[in-house]
Amino acid sequence: MSAGSGRGYWRTLFVSLTGILSLGVIALAFTMPTPAPQNWRSPQEVSSPAQVAAAETTPGPVAVAGKAHAPAKAATVPALPLFRRGVNLSRQQSFSRSDPARPGHYLWPPFAGDLAEISDHELDRLVSLGFDFVRLPVDVGPFLAAGESDRRLLLDDLRQWVVRLRGHGLSVLLDIHPATYSSTWRPRDILADPRGVKFARYRTFLQTVARLLSDQPAEGFALELMNEPQPDCVRGDGEDWTVSQRRLFEAVRAVASDMPVVLTGGCWSSVDGLVRLDPAAYDDATFFDFHFYEPYFFTHQSLPWASPPARYLAGVSYPGANGTIERTLSQTREHLARLAKEGKPQPADALDAARREINNYYATKNPGPATIGKRFDMVTAWAKEHGIAPERIVVGEFSAIRWPDDVVDDGSRLRWLTDVRAAAERHGFGWALWDYTRGFGLLADNAGRVVDIATAKALGLDISALGR
């Protein structure tokens, strides 16, 4: 990937219009670039097994008799961020544009489009509504696929995003978020071999980011090592995430001894993954993140990319007592018919698979506030067992998709958002909605950047701010 020649690392807003456009609309948001800290170093390329060995400056925990050496506790614990109410800004440094003509490469700039922009007014509005932090997902693919000069530009933009958000009074949870589609830098690619080139380059990238942002006050910044690292709760075909995460943590600690670090578990960063972690392996300058999309067949119903049979379902109600098998089955049948009419036919057994899940959902699962509460109770029990304060736990992602326009909304999504948010707050956990844009998120309209008042109410936000 090339962005042209002759572009230096340090940029200001006072470059030519052509230069600004070539770097993408992100640069328009910043007034002056903030210099990186003195200990920042450009990332070193790791491209061969020999370089992998040389890059092992911090080898991480070494397994002995089935266990791993825990790192020493930090001598001093910095003032940690207080992550209470947050939102994911997923389009600014994620959802990168891959190059269809060159697999493994990206279009320039990789993060572009209307949704990659957000105005100062919107950021101020988030604060007025009651948000105190942003979770900023970052797709590593463009950074690791880029040449040295382009990587410097991307790192500079990343730094400017953090500085800009902090300037608006928002703390930042920087989520290193490898894409799971159209990328050769997916979590499974990176974690396939902890002694391989990709793992080494990812580890080096984390160290580079930690150095780059080492001057950020600890009370307003934290670095998350990897989003949703593995689908399995316990990996059966290689090194488990619980071990790989310690390696990455040690690498970051080697260059940023007191930077707050966010840890997560396997099982798609779910409750089940979190409670399998042993916090004793880490120091106290850490947070623990889990994601909540339960019941999955409710939160992901009708999405074309969701796992079957979720993509076949429509009109699944929450709580379960508010719906019926007959009504949901009828809406699902109509949904499948519409898909077929639009030229998107589903498998012949789609309705049968949907029927089985609908029966199971209402007759067996019957989810409601108590179901959610029990899952959060598991996290609280784990935290108490290990002496983890609830303020160090963040529900880093949660939401439910809006129903298709042709399915009558019975208010289920808003009830679910209310119950999950309330459960998180009742247990003392911070939370971050997924995400800002329409679909799962806060906005009712992407083009006009209109906040959905009903969603804001469900999140307990100050909707009076919308009239100011």
pLDDT at 420: 98
Domain ranges of the chain: 17-62+77-294+370-467, 315-365
Contact (CB, 8 A) for 289 and 269: yes
pLDDT tens per residue across all 468 residues of the chain: 433 333 333 333 333 333 433 334 333 333 344 566 655 555 444 444 445 444 444 333 333 333 444 444 554 666 899 999 999 999 999 999 999 999 889 999 999 999 999 999 999 999 999 999 999 999 999 999 999 999 999 999 999 999 999 999 999 999 999 998 889 999 999 999 999 999 999 999 999 999 999 999 999 999 999 999 999 999 999 999 999 999 999 999 999 999 999 999 999 999 999 999 999 999 999 999 999 999 999 999 999 999 999 999 999 999 999 999 999 999 999 999 999 999 999 999 999 999 999 999 999 999 999 999 999 999 999 999 999 999 999 999 999 999 998 898 899 999 999 999 999 999 999 999 999 999 999 999 999 999 999 999 999 999 998 986
- Those residues whose C-beta lies under 8 Å from the C-beta of residue 422, and which sit 6 or more positions away, are 369, 460
* Model pLDDT for residues 179-191, shown as the tens digit of each residue: 988 899 999 999 9
Closest CA to 173 of 123, 229, 231, 219: 219
* Rounded distance between C-alpha atoms, residue 105 and residue 182, angstroms: 10
Contact (CB, 8 A) for 266 and 227: no
Contact (CB, 8 A) for 80 and 287: yes
* DSSP-assigned beta bridge partners for residue 262: 224, 287
Please tell me the pTM assigned to this model: 0.86
Class of domain 17-62+77-294+370-467: alpha beta
- Residue corresponding to tokens 């925990």: 61
